[in-house]
Structure 1
Amino acid sequence: MTPSVHVNPLQRVSAADAVAWHQVVAASTAHDLPGVPTPDPGQIHAQLTKPSLGSHRLTWLATAADGRPVGVAALRVFTSAGQEHLAELELHVDPAHRRMGAGSRLLSTVVAACRTENRRSLIATAAADGPGEVFSERSGFRRALTLDHLMLRLDGSDTDGLLRIADAEHPGYRLTGWTGTVPDGLAAAFAAAKNAMNDMPVGDLDYGSVAWDVDRVRAMAAVVADRGDTLLTVAAVHDDGTMAGYTEILIPQGSAPRVQQYDTAVVPAHRGHGLGLWVKAAMVRRLRDEHPGVVEIETDNADDNVHMLAVNHRLGFRSYRRTREFQLDLSAT
């Protein structure tokens, strides 16, 4: 007999809910993604309760008959123009309680919420060739994109080579950087450069596009700060005042040794000058100077993003795992 599973919507995520959520995510991550750090309960509470950019979040906790947490689901419902059709799912089931209906119950609840929210596309991420991939394909999702995750060890990379790249001259361009919100004098140029991300490879995902303006880049920085995280940016500025390219790093709250690459982009009119390599090398130097406790940078690229993969490999990033993006076309189900 299959044990009963109760799916409970979390109208307000309490500290106790965050502890239960962490318990499930930690067990799921350790099983499916060994070596990948799990956010602590405080970080999870912030992620689930603080406002997100251009979206709102719905959450559910699945419990066994005795009240033990066995699964969680979070649905990010996008609200920005160009993405009103889209929702993104994060779903975890404790490995000790899999094949008992918790994942299917959570997914059914999420799909119903997507229909209520008038979504046509639901996307989710799973480790390549892992149980999440099997579950996704059995549940009607189609494979839409493969991501190559890469890691750079700052204590083992070629310091002299990175410094040479960061110190190389690029006539007509200068480097600048900031922490958190972009300075007022660069805000308009940064917003314009952000729109270069709209041509990044997304495979067969129905991802839509986002129009960046000054208000949106400031709102993004505020969201990151409100979670307790730190956002670092290094940018290349042309002599005419145009921001030609930039790279961002997210440092999770606390003193995490691993940081996450956010966006890296070069504006089309300025491509072909090595600016992506330049700003990323300069960011590595900045991390070493300002955040010596950071020892790893994790990034990911679509497996057909040949140019950025080449940039990252030249900097010393090495592939260490792969994930896949799946999409459920709700209009066909």
Structure 2
Amino acid sequence: MTASIRDVRPDDPSDAESVVRVLRAALPFSITSAEGLSFELSCAHPAKHHRILVAEGPDGRVIGAARAGIAYDSPEPGRSYLNTYVDPAHRGLGAGRLLLRAAEEHLAAHGAVDTYAWVLDEPAHRAFAERHGYRPRRSAHFLRLDLAAVTLPEPPRDGDLPAGVELRPGSAFAADPRPLFEADAEATADEPGDVATELDDYEDWLAHVWNNPTLDKELTTVALVDGVVASFTAAQTDGATRYGSAMTGTLRAFRGRGLAKLAKTVSLHRARAAGYTEAFTGNDAGNDPMLAINEWFGYEICATETRFTKTLETL
């Protein structure tokens, strides 16, 4: 017997919990929650055609999931993303193959030409991707920090900060987050990757980034220089024990001053004080500056994934 495929039921809390269980089993380095998953579906831009599929085993248990959609914020038309996850305890039932097929058909129906998928750098995962016509591109690392045990750098005191530098939580921008949007847009444009991203829609950013329940605005930390946003580290949490760096960036005019280290130091201290015991982040394998910063904090690579791509024109 094989698995069966359907859409996730966004109004069914138990369905969201089942998908989160699969994601945590298949990708234990990710920050995910049922609330965040429901938000992901409800706030997705219409042009994204975002879809979460689930695979059910013969007994009706959710054993796999897939996220798929159009990269609507890319300046290159026809780009899309597709990521599949199968609970390691339930492989061999065809869930991955069926999820992949259904997601590819969905993307092709909405004009996708190329799709990109993250694949764990393990022989079985890579072989699966290559069997289905995917070819490897660039790699990225997951990094983990044991917040409960690590000795963090001392947080800076106000009097120790460089002249004109101020550190604030993201919540300080609640009344007007636009400066953070502009900083995120510039940092994202410079981030290495296969699919270029342009953040040029403030309302859309508010809807799916700023209002995302996994974004912890108190742990998010912003460095200002003479009152201008210069660097930031955005923090995600699962509301339990896991903290994740969603994005750390410094505007071009302020790079080389150690501002990202200052912001991240404060954020990590706040996270530990709030009871978080594990910190995770991800870096492109070619992003040497951020890899060096994270290694300086004590992060260690815990897994590597490769982005595979496939042309969908023949579907």
User: Which SS does the other structure have where 1:331 is aligned?
Assistant: coil
Q: 1:312 to 1:4 in 2, by over 3 A?
A: closer
Give the conservation status (yes or no) of the 8 Å contact 1:83–1:210. no
**Within 2, Cα distance between the matches of 1:182 and 1:95?**
42
Confirm or deny: 8 A CA contact 1:166 1:282 kept in the other structure: no
TM-score normalized with structure 2 length? 0.84
The match for 2:181 is 191
Change (3 A) 1:310 1:59: closer
Query: How many angstroms does 1:39 deviate by?
Result: 4.9
- The answer (yes or no) to whether the contact 2:108–2:313 under 8 Å persists in 1 is no
Instruction: Tell me the distance in 2 between the aligned counterparts of 1:295 and 1:5.
Output: 36
SS in 2 for 1:224: coil
Q: Following TM superposition, by how much is the alpha carbon of 1:13 offset from its aligned partner in structure 2, in angstroms?
A: 5.4
Task: State the alpha-carbon separation in 2 of the partners of residues 222 and 84 from structure 1.
Answer: 25
1:259 to 225, 243, 251: 243
Q: Residue 162 of structure 1: SS of its match in structure 2?
A: coil
Q: Give CA deviations for 1:78-134 in whole Å, capped at 9, x if unaligned.
A: 333636533222312344553443322221121111111101222222221253222
Contact 1:192 1:213 in 2 (8 A): no
Question: 278, 289, 295: which is aligned to 2:262?
Answer: 278
Q: Which residue of 1 aligns with 2:199?
A: 211
1:245: how far off? 1.0
Q: Please say if 1:318 is aligned against 2:303.
A: no
Distance change (3 Å), C-alpha of 1:200 and 1:49: closer
Paired position in structure 2 for 1:327:
309
Change (3 A) 1:94 1:257: closer
**TM-score normalised to structure 1 length:** 0.80
- State which of 178, 182, 200 in structure 1 corresponds to 2:173: 182
Instruction: Give the one of 226, 235, 256 matched to 2:222.
Output: 235
Q: 1:312–1:213: structure 2 CA closer, same or farther, 3 Å change rule? A: same
State how far apart, in whole Å, the 1-side matches of 2:3 and 2:74 are. 37
Paired with 2:187 and 2:41, the residues of 1 have a C-alpha distance of 30
Contact 1:246 1:266 in 2 (8 A): yes
Retained in 2: the 8 A contact 1:73–1:106?
yes
Kept in 2, the 8 Å contact 1:165–1:281? The answer is no
Deviation at 1:263, TM superposition (A): 0.8
Q: Which residue of 2 aligns with 1:17?
A: 15
Q: 1:153 aligns with which of 146, 158, 176?
A: 146
1:89 paired to 2:82: yes
Residue in structure 1 matching 2:44, options 43, 52, 62: 52
Percent identical pairs in the alignment equals: 23
Q: CA deviation at 1:299?
A: 0.6
What does residue 232 of structure 2 align with?
246
Structure 1 runs not aligned, ≥5 long = none
How many residue pairs match? The answer is 312
Alignment root-mean-square deviation, CA: 3.1
Matched with 2:291 is 309
* Contact 2:199–2:205 under 8 Å retained in 1: no
